[in-house]
Amino acid sequence: MKPAPFVYYCPASLEEALELLAEHEEAKPLAGGQSLIPAMNFRLAAPAALVDLNRIAALAGDTGMENGGLRLGAMTRHSTLEKSRLVAERAPLLAETMPFIAHPQIRSRGTVGGSLAHADPAAELPAVMVALQATLVLQSAKAERRMPAEQFFSGLFATALEPGELLTAIELPALPARAGCAFEELARRHGDYALVGVAAVLSLDSRGRCEQARIVLLSVGDGPTLAAGAAAALAGLEPSAEAIRGAAEHAAATDIDPPSDIHASAAYRRQLARVLTRRALIRAAELARTASGIAER
Amino acid sequence: MAGRYVGERVLRLEDARLLTGRALFVDDLQLPGLLHVAFLRSDEAHARITRIDATAARSRPGVLAAYTATDLGDYWRPGPLLVPPPPIAGLVFHTATQVPLARDKVRHVGEPLAMVVAESRYLAEDALEDIVVELDPLPAVTDLEAALLEPASLVHEQFGSNLAAHVQQRKGDYAAARAAAHRVIARRFHYDRGAAAAIENRGVVAQWDARVEELTVWDTTQAPIPIRNGLAALLGLRESQVRVIAPFIGGGFGPKIMMYYPEEVLVPWAAMRLGRPVKWIEDRRENFYATTQERAQIHDAELAVSIDGKILGVRDKFLHDTGAYDPYGLTVPINTQCTLLGPYVVPHYDSEFTAVFTNKPIVTPVRGAGRQHGVFVMERLLDFAARELGIDRVEIRRRNYIQPDAFPYDHEILFQDFRPLVYDSGNYPAALEKAVELIGYDGFVKQEQPRLRREGRHVGLGIVSYIEGTGIGPYEGARVTVEPSGSVRLATGVGTQGQGHFTTFAQIVAEVLGVEVGCVQVSTGDTREFTWGTGTFASRGAVVAGSACHAAALKVREKILGLAAPLLGVPPAELVLEAGSVHVRDAPEQGMRLGELARKANPLRGAVTPGTEPGLEATAYFGPDRGNAASGVHAMLVEVDAETAAVRIKRYVVVHDCGTIINPMVVEAQVQGGVAHGIGNAFFEQLSFDENGQLMNASFMDYLLPTALDVPSVEMAHIETPSPLNPLGTKGVGEAGAIPTGAAFAQAIEDALAGSGVEITEIPLSPNRLFELLEAARGAP
Amino acid sequence: MIVEGTYPLPGTPDVIWNLLMDPEVLVKAMPGTKELVRTAPDRYEGVMRIGIGPITAAEFELVILLTDMKEPHSYAMQIDGKGRAGFTRGTASVELSPDGAGSMMHYSADLQVGGKIAAVGQRLLDSVSKLMTRQGLEALNRELQSRLGGAAV
């Protein structure tokens, strides 16, 4: 398991990196390398060149935004986000999810930008970014553009990134006042690819009814899957146990079309989607009620 | 035998080196001019080779050679049959052994087609892409039943079928027992393939020194001496010209006792031809095909019982998957056949198996070596019988045990060492009672479980019993030498793959010679140090090699006393060995350091009494009359999430009997590690081959090994029934933890899901599979 | 691995049949195909490169044999793809039936996948095969649309 030969570039700045990517069509950016390098060692990937982003300090780090949101540099390591107090305060869903991503060793090298650009259907961060309605900043040597996370993921391992473009930052809006979040995942072993995962953000109106539900599942299809039917089923209702059960049923039965693989059949995935969506919504609703000062009836 | 060291929790002497990176493993070797090897392996499970051309590979810069089967000339030949079948009446066995490089036909995915030798592994892998191969696919033989009844093709045409062997062993008259039975419990059981997955893959480094005409081979083998002898014969060298070193090895577990692997015979050959040292290190993906594996069997078994649950007889007919070749004979299925009987009185037994060739990697023993399957079948049948008869599952076992006063107990069939299966000693009821107490069986069944059920929780208990045949022959040897420094050197022919031999053997010798255990330097696995022996396998190291160490130490002790007595002017009976000296009892000042005595035993001038051997050194061998029977009981508590079918192990108890314990920490570690392996077998590990013989999970992403978070800390207790078959009274313990885990798991999960109608007759399980079983029991589509 | 389904295409079965027999159209319908040449009336040979997610270096030599030709209704194919990353082979069938002004294609394939991609890519094979099928059909649809002068279905 040794990779095929390749050329290695190590730019010191973002400008230099973008120029290299524009000039060398067959070059791939190297972030944490936790998915790319194994694929290269298996010789299933054989890029002619790698553009190493790890020396570009400007691309890493998490900072608060004036609107109460959070800006994450694409090269910020998972482990940084895991330990960040800012993330815990402003994006509790993200903080809750981090320990589910692989193992500490992998999190010490893997980056949020790398995970999103790779767009593995079993990855946690794409689902979380869609649930949180993040905005992604994409840059090329010529231009910069911004895109909602929901539009960024276009299919199996497919994103809106054009050739020569890099994802450079992720902006998370502030959470609504009466919101609660929860993340649930089931894997065979701790750190494994999820069999099914659910990221849920539930916000209530002043009367304690569901104003918006963002329910996003992972490992049930080509990428982060928004359970629109489940969300619609909850809209305007109090998130009671019964309402939540109905939403979870929607998520499992109609919002997803899961694949089968050697670890889980499509039927088993649907069952997990049903159970995990319900569990996530119950917790999110509880947190939303607490945030609103509403007691459960 | 117990005293200062034997039975003591001595910290392992080898750990400081291992933990600080100072231990040598095969891949650590850096030799001047070292070349590296990569193998081109078949992607097809069954195909004719219509074309293979390595010309382009040879002309790549940095490549020194690229060999295919034709390039090997006379060197190409199938490997030897390592374990001939036992002398069982009516036995049928077809020999088909592995070849160094496939010729004419490939018979499993991963079978080597070509070998490239280059300046680096990177270049060697680049060169693999230059080799042109055309394979004409044939239907793959994968289903064990179809392979025999309606084969779409034959793995080995010369046999006219895919039958590799047929063996029947009988005792008594099962048909009569069946006719007299109150109930007959019959089921079909499936056990699926798994790998050993040692942390270190295989590796071979070979160096031919033309000046002294000696070949040195470093090899991750469990059998350095047989490898040395075999390589010498293959390469036309004298045995004394070949030195095989098995250095520190990261786990063996069985597949490294398979011998004359293609890589093992080709790397030394290439080193001699090219005149430069050659290294091959297996990568993990190769390990899934190129290293042997085990465990697929299908059993149709039945148990005839009386109304009070006594076993009248067992009939078992099973198919055993031996893979594409059968160099290791019938060790695994014979173990299954024998271990099924377990600790029970089985008056009538009819066991028949057919070993089947398939287009899958070769099957040879992997920790447990076929015993798991036998235990699974018997324990499950007893569980089903208990349920049908309304007898408690612990009670039904109690009623059928061989009693402590019934030893030696002859089961009247043949074991893997070709000797009759006779149990030497044991106390099965005591182990069961201890396990029942530790797991809190009565309280759980009567109070805790009903309470948990009322809370809607599904917690279950599994408790199973097993026998492990260990310590088989033929023999091992050891040489003990007291050196002038006072240090003691111990050399033995077995290798070590983490079992703690550097400590346990030192304990045995230190006890006999009265020296500090840290003074005993142990050498294992180096054929220059010791040249007679068979290897580390079948849980026999401590029993057979340990007994040889003991015997050699006793001989040296005799020499010490014989030499010291006249020097100190007293009869030998008045001398004691203590703290590295020999002295008159109760008069330590009247004595001599052993090192000084060793110097005196090797005079440079003068005369000795005729017949005196110099030095304080002796070699001794030990070969037991037959293997002995270790035993135990495992009990576990599991909780099943009925919604997700996820399973969590809450507690795991092992009560184990391995006779005299040399080092309790080593025994506990073996049991803990064995249980980890067993949990993997039962719930995580499954080699998924599709119907075309393609392995669908050849990486740790998808072949799941349990991690520290999945394996509980095992709660242990020991029963000690010493074995009369060796002077230490010890029995093997290497595989015990792995053997009954599947059976315990199945019983525990069924217990957790009682009332659901789910019956478990297969291993391994998974949440996905449990979900399927639950749905099926519910009548869902 | 079984892949099957239906897909509406613009044009009558006659028209579609002729276009399906044209290697230049087929190249478009098989994403990643670098070249495809018709070497006999019933035989196509070519090279195909798979590029999905991490897998970008899987190149296959492809041989497709057409059998059971029942112009313009149906035909069957024997597919054989071999490369360093593994192989795929099996059979497929295509049926065209009139559907309003256009046609409905019924397709079904039974493919064996082996070698490295099968050994380490199991988690994704199902999704990848569905994706490639969808991409292929969409590309075929676009190609047919443009050849037919953009007539809407």
For B554-594, how does the pLDDT look when each residue is reduced to its tens digit (9 = 90+)?
A: 999 999 999 999 999 999 999 999 999 999 999 989 999 99
Q: What is the pLDDT of residue B717?
A: 97
Helix axes of A241-250 and A266-292: crossing angle, nearest 10 degrees: 140
pLDDT above 90 as % of chain B: 92
Over 50: is that where the pLDDT of B1 sits? no
Which chains border A (3 or more CB–CB pairs < 8 Å)? B, C
Residue A188 zone, left/alpha/beta (φ > 0; ψ -120 to 50; rest): alpha
Q: What is the pLDDT of residue B3?
A: 53
Q: What is the pLDDT of residue C29?
A: 78
Residue B692 has its nearest CB partner, among C84, C112, C120, at C112
Amino acid (1-letter code) at residue C147? R
pLDDT band at C72 (very low <50, low <70, confident <90, very high): confident
Over 60: is that where the pLDDT of A172 sits? yes
For B225-237, how does the pLDDT look when each residue is reduced to its tens digit (9 = 90+)?
A: 999 999 999 999 9
Residue B206 is encoded by which pair of tokens? 């070979």
Give which of B52, B58, B67, B45 is closest to B133, Cα–Cα: B52
Average pLDDT, rounded, for chain C: 87
Domain A7-52 maps to which CATH number in 3.10.20.90, 3.40.190.10, 3.30.43.10, 1.10.132.50? Answer: 3.30.43.10
The DSSP line for A234-276 is: HTTS---HHHHHHHHHHIIIII------SS--HHHHHHHHHHH
Amino acid (1-letter code) at residue A71? R
Return the residue of A nearest to B647 by Cα.
Answer: A188
CATH 3.30.465.10 domain span(s) along chain A? 57-172
* Average pLDDT of the segment spanning C129-144: 84
Residue B694 has its nearest CB partner, among C84, C118, C123, at C118
For C25-69, how does the pLDDT look when each residue is reduced to its tens digit (9 = 90+)?
A: 888 777 788 888 989 988 999 998 888 877 888 899 999 999 999
Residue B701 has its nearest CB partner, among C89, C113, C120, at C120
Cα–Cα distance measured from residue A182 to residue A278, given in angstroms and rounded to the nearest whole number: 11
Beta strands in chain A (DSSP E): 7-9, 27-30, 49-52, 62-64, 70-73, 135-139, 144-148, 153-155, 158-159, 166-172, 179-186, 196-204, 210-218, 225-226
E strand or H helix at B565, and its extent? helix B546-568
* Average pLDDT of the segment spanning A99-125: 97
pLDDT band at B150 (very low <50, low <70, confident <90, very high): confident
CB pairs under 8 A between B and C: 42
Question: Which residues, in sequence order, are bridge partners of residue B203?
Answer: B281
Over 80: is that where the pLDDT of B221 sits? yes
A167-A173-A177 Cα angle (round to 5): 160
E strand or H helix at B454, and its extent? helix B449-454
Return the residue of A nearest to C85 by Cα.
Answer: A44
Classify domain A57-172 at the CATH topology level.
3.30.465
Cα–Cα distance measured from residue A168 to residue B335, given in angstroms and rounded to the nearest whole number: 61
Residue A189 has its nearest CB partner, among B283, B284, B709, at B709
pLDDT band at B2 (very low <50, low <70, confident <90, very high): very low
For B399-431, how does the pLDDT look when each residue is reduced to its tens digit (9 = 90+)?
A: 999 999 999 999 888 887 888 889 999 999 999
Contact: C114, B698; criterion CB under 8 Å: no
Q: What is the pLDDT of residue C116?
A: 93
Q: What is the pLDDT of residue A95?
A: 97
Cα–Cα distance measured from residue B687 to residue B701, given in angstroms and rounded to the nearest whole number: 12
Higher-pLDDT residue of B61 and C122 is: B61
Over 60: is that where the pLDDT of C151 sits? no
Return the residue of A nearest to C58 by Cα.
Answer: A44
**Domains of chain C by residue range:** 2-146
Say if residues C22 and C6 touch (Cβ distance below 8 Å). Answer: no
Domains along the sequence of chain B with CATH: 15-21+473-622 (3.30.365.10), 31-369+377-402 (3.30.365.10), 423-472+626-668+709-781 (3.30.365.10)
For B503-514, how does the pLDDT look when each residue is reduced to its tens digit (9 = 90+)?
A: 999 999 999 999
* Average pLDDT of the segment spanning B109-122: 98
* Average pLDDT of the segment spanning B64-88: 96
Residue A158 is encoded by which pair of tokens? 């497919």
Contact: B122, A2; criterion CB under 8 Å: yes
Q: What is the pLDDT of residue A10?
A: 98
CA distances from B361 to B152, B264, B292, B604, C24 (A): 19, 17, 6, 59, 43
Contact: B702, C120; criterion CB under 8 Å: yes
pLDDT band at C71 (very low <50, low <70, confident <90, very high): confident
CATH 3.30.43.10 domain span(s) along chain A? 7-52
Say if residues B701 and B288 touch (Cβ distance below 8 Å). Answer: no
Cα–Cα distance measured from residue B655 to residue C47, given in angstroms and rounded to the nearest whole number: 61
Residue A42 has its nearest CB partner, among C52, C120, C131, at C120
Q: What is the pLDDT of residue A296?
A: 63
* Average pLDDT of the segment spanning B432-452: 98
Q: What is the pLDDT of residue A297?
A: 55
CATH 3.30.390.50 domain span(s) along chain A? 179-291
For B629-648, how does the pLDDT look when each residue is reduced to its tens digit (9 = 90+)?
A: 999 999 999 999 999 999 99
Over 90: is that where the pLDDT of A256 sits? yes
The CATH superfamily of C2-146 is START domain (3.30.530.20)
Residues of C in contact with B45 (CB under 8 A): 114
Which chains border C (3 or more CB–CB pairs < 8 Å)? A, B
Give which of B380, B354, B556 is closest to B465, Cα–Cα: B380
CB pairs under 8 A between A and C: 63
Residue B365 is encoded by which pair of tokens? 């023993």
Among B132-136, B374-378, B623-627, where is mean pLDDT lowest? B623-627
Contact: C123, A122; criterion CB under 8 Å: yes
Say if residues C78 and C67 touch (Cβ distance below 8 Å). Answer: yes
Asked whether the ipTM of the predicted complex exceeds the cut of 0.90, the reply is yes
Average pLDDT, rounded, for chain B: 95
Higher-pLDDT residue of C149 and A9 is: A9
The label of the residue with tokens 């294609």 reads C105
Q: What is the pLDDT of residue A132?
A: 98
Say if residues B585 and B542 touch (Cβ distance below 8 Å). Answer: no
Q: How far is B424 from chain C (nearest CA, A)?
A: 46
Residue A195 is encoded by which pair of tokens? 């069999």
Q: Which of B679, B691, B768, B773 to mutate to test the interface with A (most CBs of A within 10 A)?
A: B768
Cα–Cα distance measured from residue A111 to residue B147, given in angstroms and rounded to the nearest whole number: 50
10 Å CB burial of residue B738 (0-12, 13-18, 19+) is buried
For A15-32, how does the pLDDT look when each residue is reduced to its tens digit (9 = 90+)?
A: 999 999 999 989 999 999
Say whether residue B288 is in contact with chain C using an 8 A CB cutoff: yes
* Average pLDDT of the segment spanning B253-276: 97
* Average pLDDT of the segment spanning B309-337: 97
Say if residues B435 and B461 touch (Cβ distance below 8 Å). Answer: no
Contact: B702, C118; criterion CB under 8 Å: no
Average pLDDT, rounded, for chain A: 96
Residue C54 has its nearest CB partner, among A39, A221, A263, at A39
Contact: C87, B43; criterion CB under 8 Å: yes
Classify domain A179-291 at the CATH topology level.
Enolase-like; domain 1 (3.30.390)
Q: What is the pLDDT of residue C153?
A: 45
Residue A213 is encoded by which pair of tokens? 């539900």
Question: Which residues, in sequence order, are bridge partners of residue B348?
Answer: B313
E strand or H helix at B468, and its extent? strand B458-470
Residue C118, helix vs strand vs coil: helix
Cα–Cα distance measured from residue A297 to residue B666, given in angstroms and rounded to the nearest whole number: 58
